[in-house]
Amino acid sequence: MFLLQRTWTEMELLPLVCFCLLTCSGTTFGDEVTKMKVKEDEDVTLPCSLDSTNITSETFDWKKDDQKEVFMYQNGKLYNKGLSGQDPQFKGRVFHFEDQLQSGNASIVIRNTKVTDSGRYSCIFPHHQPTTRSIIELIVDCILKDRTKENKPGLCRKPSVTILDETNDWALLECEVEGVFPKPKVQWLDSDNNTVSAEKPQVTESEGKYNIILNATVTKSDVYRCVSTQEEICHQLDRKIKITLQGAPPEPNNVSGPNTGLIVGLVIALIAVVAVVVYYKCFRGRGGGY
């Protein structure tokens, strides 16, 4: 069994992960490792116990990647409750199970997990042998969401949407996403989340950043959404635009169109027939006269 010791903290940087897979995977540990996987923003309970002994007046310590202080219990004292030294990353998010201490349960729960919580957690009883009683390899998978507040460089800002052209029956919509990396996927969706067929995106690149323009023609009134997704960093943003087309629904509208044409056509045909008949009659009339 191998462990990616520092790799999980770099989860957002996919190329680095690949690099590390090649370089760090040689590390091995004798201890049993439990693998756990959760989705970002979910809670996770990391299991640990000291047999079935009462640990109310014991000391146990949870560390991440052998260095970050996650949680400490010392005879009733805790981080931010008599003890200091907890890594700021975990402040206010890690709890133990007070009522389970009597049965030796030293599990902790990490609330509201973040991708950067991914890593190797060890549960240590410093006054017992062996000291390490549990090792958890945790992976927190990111979910697609708006990460604007995380303030990372290259994050998409909200797309800008405009109506380029419009008639009673259709509207030409434009969506623009400016100055971002990694290159986002841009889509137009209708209110049922169906993809609206769009033109080929116009992609321009300058100084490693992308500008993308995506035009789409829509033919029904609806609320449309331009969605920009940066899959690599799980960042997704959208902007809505309400389109109200003035034209009557296509069906009845189309009937009046061909009908006008048909009537005009019939009138012309009728005139032609009358003309032919008149000409023929005159010709015949004259011919008969001879």
Ligand X SMILES: *[C@@H]1O[C@H](CO)[C@@H](O)[C@H](O)[C@H]1NC(C)=O
Q: Which residues bind ligand X (CB under 6 A)?
A: 45, 47, 49, 97, 100, 105, 107
CB 232 within 8 A of CB 210: no
Name the residue nearer to ligand X (CB basis): 47 or 201: 47
CB 33 within 8 A of CB 136: yes
The one-character DSSP state at 161 is E
Sign of CA dihedral 20, 182, 240, 203: negative
Name the residue nearer to ligand X (CB basis): 136 or 237: 136
Name the residue nearer to ligand X (CB basis): 13 or 38: 38
Question: Shortest gap between Cβ of 94 and ligand X (angstroms)?
Answer: 14
Question: Shortest gap between Cβ of 144 and ligand X (angstroms)?
Answer: 29
Name the residue nearer to ligand X (CB basis): 45 or 221: 45
Name the residue nearer to ligand X (CB basis): 47 or 154: 47
Residues 6+ apart with CB under 8 A from 158: 237, 238, 239
The string over 17-30, giving b where at least 16 C-beta atoms fall within 10 Å of a residue's C-beta and e elsewhere, is eeebeeeeeeeeee
Phi-psi region of 28 (alpha: psi -120 to 50; beta: other; left: phi over 0): beta
Name the residue nearer to ligand X (CB basis): 95 or 181: 95
Q: How far apart are CA 265 and CA 262, in angstroms?
A: 5
Q: Which residues pair with 217 in a beta bridge?
A: 172
Question: Shortest gap between Cβ of 105 and ligand X (angstroms)?
Answer: 4
Name the residue nearer to ligand X (CB basis): 43 or 146: 43
Question: Shortest gap between Cβ of 42 and ligand X (angstroms)?
Answer: 15
Question: Shortest gap between Cβ of 134 and ligand X (angstroms)?
Answer: 9
Residues 6+ apart with CB under 8 A from 30: none
Question: Shortest gap between Cβ of 206 and ligand X (angstroms)?
Answer: 53
Q: What's the half-sphere exposure (Cβ side, CA atoms, 13 Å) at 1?
A: 11
- Closest-by-Cβ residue to ligand X is 105
Which residue, chain included where needed, has tokens 């971002």?
180
Q: How far apart are CA 15 and CA 21, in angstroms?
A: 10
Question: Shortest gap between Cβ of 40 and ligand X (angstroms)?
Answer: 21
Q: Which residues pair with 109 in a beta bridge?
A: 45, 95
